[in-house]
A = this chain, B = another copy of it.
């Protein structure tokens, strides 16, 4: 087991990373400090890991709530089901929620924890690669609104993140690829050596080799923790973590949540961001091609579904959280490993990228 700390003053917390953690009571129980706990998970994860976790926590006798699976359920209505379970089970302000599952379960459960009785403790027990490298770390919680992804939410840091790499063995290959999109993102935005390591080790990751997976997760979490520690509430550098996400959110919203996985949309979004960076003359053609090649090797879509139009992007990007006083801000690359938040780009180049990816007018 290796442990790293997200440094946030009195909100600091550890990320515990290793194999078999779910079956180790001493890896999880100490964070509960004898408080009443409710495990929140979904119908897909429950048959695989719920018993293992309950067994480890048996001395704490946690309650459980099993939600339906999928991004389509990342709504305020689902959060209400958690409130209902907490209130009908008479959970007080000192209880702890435990999110067992992927990014959706973590985001929903974290938001319930942020807002139940004005804030209670929660733990992240991520079971997908995406959640282990990204969504469980950093305290972003929330749900979707029909007009935009993650538009309702709060910053609320967990008490701890427990990432058991054994859970990745049951991960469908589409979900593995979706997680790799975020892993590749960390290399692109701020860690060129890691990007090189990924180019060399992608096959091992796709083959689920434990040592490669552990290294990819550890390095991703180190990168994320460093940026979150600099800027907990995303007033500055943390926005860099949204590389590929502004485009990705439009894809998810336009297709309807759940049609593409979040990581798949981010994969295509990364390609669009490097394409635009290249058209602006900020990124070398060779580096654009390396980035797109790695996304494709990971099994991610590098093109968009035929029904998307440039107009969809213009309309939906206007809702983006990074719009400030009417001006769209995008995360773009100056080089592999060097991202910037930019509002001063040539909008005609953005239009070129959108038309290229959306194949508008091609029938």
Chain A residues proximal to chain B, CB less than 8 Å: 35-36, 76, 80, 83-84, 87-88, 90, 92-94, 111, 114-119, 140, 142, 145, 147-148, 151-155, 233-234, 318-319, 321-326
Do A118 and B142 touch across chains, with their CB atoms under 8 A apart? Answer: yes
CB distance from A227 to the nearest CB of B (A): 16
Do A93 and B323 touch across chains, with their CB atoms under 8 A apart? Answer: yes
Copies in the complex: 2
A325 contacts which of B92, B114, B119, B151 (Cβ < 8 Å)? Answer: B92
Q: Which residues of B contact A94 (CB under 8 A)?
A: 324-325
**30 pairs of residues in contact across A and B, judged by CB atoms under 8 Å:** A35-B325, A76-B76, A76-B80, A83-B151, A84-B145, A87-B145, A87-B148, A88-B147, A90-B318, A90-B319, A92-B321, A92-B323, A92-B325, A93-B323, A93-B324, A94-B324, A111-B115, A115-B115, A115-B152, A115-B153, A116-B152, A117-B153, A117-B321, A118-B153, A118-B154, A118-B155, A118-B233, A119-B155, A119-B233, A154-B154
Do B154 and A115 touch across chains, with their CB atoms under 8 A apart? Answer: yes
A321 contacts which of B35, B93, B151, B233 (Cβ < 8 Å)? Answer: B93
Do B140 and A118 touch across chains, with their CB atoms under 8 A apart? Answer: yes
A319 contacts which of B87, B140, B148, B318 (Cβ < 8 Å)? Answer: B87
Give the residue name and chain of the B residue nearest to A155 (CB).
B118
Do B145 and A83 touch across chains, with their CB atoms under 8 A apart? Answer: yes
Do A152 and B93 touch across chains, with their CB atoms under 8 A apart? Answer: no
Q: Which residues of B contact A142 (CB under 8 A)?
A: 115, 118
CA distance A249 to B300 in the complex (A): 53
CA distance A147 to B90 in the complex (A): 10
CA distance A245 to B319 in the complex (A): 40
Q: Which residues of B contact A153 (CB under 8 A)?
A: 115, 117-118
Q: Which residues of B contact A234 (CB under 8 A)?
A: 118
CA distance A140 to B116 in the complex (A): 13
CA distance A90 to B117 in the complex (A): 30
Beyond the given pairs A83-B151, A94-B324, 8 more chain A to chain B contacts, judged by CB atoms under 8 angstroms and listed by A's residue number, are: A76-B80, A87-B147, A90-B318, A93-B321, A114-B154, A115-B152, A115-B153, A119-B154
Give the residue name and chain of the B residue nearest to A90 (CB).
B318
Q: Which residues of B contact A319 (CB under 8 A)?
A: 87, 90
Q: Which residues of B contact A119 (CB under 8 A)?
A: 154-155, 233
Give the residue name and chain of the B residue nearest to A234 (CB).
B118
Q: Which residues of B contact A115 (CB under 8 A)?
A: 111, 115, 142, 152-154
CB distance from A10 to the nearest CB of B (A): 11
